[in-house]
Chains A and B, each alone.
Chain A
Amino acid sequence: MDMLLVMLKIGMYAAIVIGFITVNALFLVWMERKVSAKIQLRHGPMEVGWHGTFQTFADAIKLFGKELITPVNIDKVPYLLAPMLAMFPTILIFLVIPIGENLHILDLNVGVLYIFAFSALGVLSIFMAGYGSNNKYSMLGAVRGVAQSLAYEIPLLLSILGVIMICGTLNLKGIVMAQDNVWFVLYQPLAFVIFFISTLAETNRAPFDLPEAESEIIAGFHTEYSGIRFAMFFLSEYTHMFIVSALATILFLGGWNGPFLPEPVWFLLKVYFLIFMMMWIRFTFPRIRIDQLMTLGWKILIPLALVNLLVTGIVLKL
């Protein structure tokens, strides 16, 4: 009987997480289309449902119904494994994100570490996809992806160390609790900026979307994917956007803290605001060049993050 309960519980959690991921991705795609439309003086989708609300559902169904094209001469194992590997860490990461004080699935005391450990796996899927596709453009995209992730993982981690030094815990709930009065963005404004820029690069969002730059290397690593395999990459990208924004909210913007409204509402408001910022940036700036991206990562963001860390340490010691 106990066994059955545990199984039921796991099943329920899986259903909740996968359900949320799907709905979230569908909503974000709709949101991105609407935001871009407003920026570009268009309407965006208007036909299916109220203001095109169900357009993305229709698109998703179409995508799932599409033929799976497998190119010749591919390396089968990495090629077929890559889309699954792209999806898998994002699902696991969702387990530890607290949406409210008691609204979470897992409460790990090393939540931050857990998230970074799994989100670093994302680049593996990019590389496997590019390597397995037997396509020079895909390979270029994959190499770019790896170089970029190396350059931006480090400032990303360095920037959050300041926060962790202040609150002294790796527990996500603990970090939010420590921001009851003052959000950490006020203590660590520089770290927040570095974190935000690095997450843009980490999630391959414009202006750092080099692994999939369509005007240069034609969608890069996922050029050769179609149908549901492509959908998996797509889903993981949008989920990744949610995850990094949620992390920024937890670490810097006080998580679910806020007056009047219920906790999850505050949390989601902050998250979607950050996502909106990402979209705004995407539809304003051109794409940066690969060597300039590396320069920005290694020569500017990492030293800045180190300085920030040093100053935080000194201030805390005083």
Chain B
Amino acid sequence: MTVANFSSQISECAPSAQIETPDFSKTGHHLTVTVNRDQIAALTQKFFDEQFFLESLSGVDLIENFQVTYHFNRFKKTERVMVRVQVTKEDPVVPTVSHIFPSANWFEREAAEFYGMKFKDHPNPVRLILPEFSTYHPLVKGYKDEGDSAKEVQDLIELEEAIQKLISPTVGQLQTKDYFVNMGPQHPSTHGLLRLLLHMKGERILGVDPVLGYAHRADEKMAEIGNYLQFWPNTGRIDYLCAMLYNWGWANVVEKSMGIEVPERAQHIRLIVSELNRIASHLLWLGTFLLDLGAFTPFLYTFADREKIVDLLEMASGERITFVYFTFGGVLYDVDEQFVIQTRAFIKEMRDHLKDYHKLLTKNVILLKRTKDVGIISKEVARLYGATGPVARASGVDYDIRKAEPLSIYTQFEFDVPLGENGDCYDRYTVRMEEMEQSLRLVEQALDKLPEGAFQCKPAPKRIKPEAGEYYQAIEGGRGEFGIYLVSDGKDKPYRVKLRTPCFSNLSLLSEVSKGLTMPDMVAILGSLDLVIPDIDR
């Protein structure tokens, strides 16, 4: 069943729905549906039954109204449906869908705290990213930062003291019972400012509650403040380990909405640097994952290899980590002959090194023992929580945006999408190892076909002003689907930018998979999820 003839079924379960079929290549939506809030749960159930997954959920402030936007999508081949629900500002209550899609739990909490909306029957309606007891809603239009009031600060101090009294045991009061451990925000295995509140009994974990927001920088708000060009640097700092790919995500959504044609050479260069960046990202993951498992040596090997990629990318872009190399309609600088030669040499070398990694690690008894059957994410859990990228593919979900919804360039090349079977840590390891090989293949083919010509479209687009409308475009980031939901009002600044980041969704399933495991397993799962904290907090 395709989405086109899905509309009759939609109107069946939601009679008031207004259904439109926008231009997919421009907006990224096959269908857009506007429904009343009392029908959203029934409609979501319908999508659930039809094997969709909840891609993203975002709030939008439409001055008179609030809008909640749901994006549903299918694995394998993209069939994206956008559902809008509008509520008045006087009564901003929307029924929750988190009992259908658990991934909505975090999305709804986020929308609620940024807009002051309420989700009826939400199981845990507390703040997610902002401080727990803050009272402001920063993404509401016209919001002014007035700082914390003196009373709020006083409340926080009192609360902090009360907590301190509660949690610090004094000598002589030690008892045998379950306890809470704060893993993070400063912990070597969370790779950044992530805090996990572990409920433990001995070495066993009874429950996990991730506490987010330590690296929150309001990228979405910054997007609304500046114009389209000014958002470039932010894209390189969300997932700072594959900044090129996130550059591409931003380029993609704006170019498609404005119909900018990108020259062939620029597209090839984009693919080369992006796939190189993906390899660099996976190499860093490999090193740190093994470091979490207690093997120090692979970390230094992979960093030596990553260094070569970073050098190559520096040759192309002039930067080493947080790239701003893309521009609307191409890339900022052309690559030279030397870059091509050195990249070829690197591919050859990297293939040898990958073989070495397999020799050192893949059959290692302790690695197998630590990762096999640990942290199993089933196909169904991956769908329920909206997991994407290598995490979902290790569970056997065949969803790679490079295949499902390819940017034009990807269809010209041959590559495979490696899939796992069990969805345990070991499968996530093998999937990523295989992805590096596939990326090498892609880079090699792109180098062979690299055409002569312009590296920017001529004339360069001077005024970046997409038509008023809603756009959603996704690219396959290093960790999964990076989607940008862009609402434009036809002016030179984005009206609303929602960043749908892979780590946010991938982390949300942590409490589902880690129950009953031990502390070292927790570390292995965290490592295998490959989290980048600014990617979660934005």
Contact = CB atoms under 8 A, between A and B. Distances in A.
A interface bracket (residues with beta carbon within 8 Å of B): 20 to 34
A209 B294 contact: yes
B296 A134 contact: no
Given A73-B168, A137-B181, A216-B189, A290 B295 contact: no
A40 B188 contact: no
Which 6 A/B pairs are nearest by Cβ-Cβ distance? A287-B294, A286-B293, A286-B295, A40-B300, A289-B520, A286-B294
Contact of A285 (B170, B179, B295, B304): B295
B291 interface: yes
B297 interface: yes
Contacts of A12: none
A300 to B, nearest CB: 13
B interface bracket (residues with beta carbon within 8 Å of A): 20 to 34
B301 interface: yes
Nearest to B294: A287
Given A136-B181, A216-B189, A286 B520 contact: no
Given A75-B171, A207-B294, A286-B367, 4 more contacts: A144-B203, A215-B294, A284-B360, A290-B520
B364 interface: yes
Contact of B203 (A74, A140, A287): A140
Interface of B: 168-171, 179, 181, 187-189, 202-203, 290-297, 300-301, 304, 360, 364, 366-367, 369-370, 518-521, 523
Given A136-B181, A289-B520, A290-B518, A215 B301 contact: no
Contacts, number: 87
Given A134-B169, A283-B296, A290 B203 contact: yes
Most buried by A among B296, B519, B523: B296
A224 B179 CA distance: 20
A41 B300 contact: yes
B181 to A, nearest CB: 5
Contact of B296 (A36, A136, A143, A144): A36
29 contacts: A36-B297, A40-B296, A40-B300, A40-B301, A41-B300, A41-B301, A73-B168, A74-B171, A134-B168, A134-B169, A136-B179, A136-B181, A209-B294, A213-B294, A215-B292, A217-B519, A218-B188, A284-B297, A285-B295, A286-B293, A286-B294, A286-B364, A287-B294, A287-B366, A289-B369, A289-B521, A291-B203, A291-B518, A292-B369
Contacts of A42: 300
A294 to B, nearest CB: 10
Given A75-B171, A140-B203, A287 B520 contact: yes
A285 B203 contact: no
Contacts of A16: none
A275 interface: no
Contact of A214 (B168, B188, B366): B188
Contacts of A269: none
A290 B169 CA distance: 26
A218 B367 contact: no
A283 B297 contact: yes
A206 interface: yes
Nearest to B292: A215
A288 interface: yes
A124 to B, nearest CB: 18
A39 interface: yes
Interface in A232-284: 282-284
Contacts of B181: 136-137
Contacts of B370: 286-289
A140 B294 contact: no
Most buried by A among B189, B295, B304: B295
A59 to B, nearest CB: 19
Interface in A134-161: 134, 136-137, 140, 143-144
B366 A288 contact: yes
Contacts of A136: 179, 181
Contacts of B290: 286
Contacts of B297: 36, 39-40, 283-284
A198 to B, nearest CB: 17
Contact of B366 (A40, A144, A207): A207
A288 B171 contact: no
A37 to B, nearest CB: 9
Interface string A61-96: 000000000000111000000000000000000000
A218 B384 CA distance: 34
Contact of B291 (A36, A134, A215, A292): A215
A292 B520 CA distance: 11
Contact of B187 (A40, A218, A289): A218
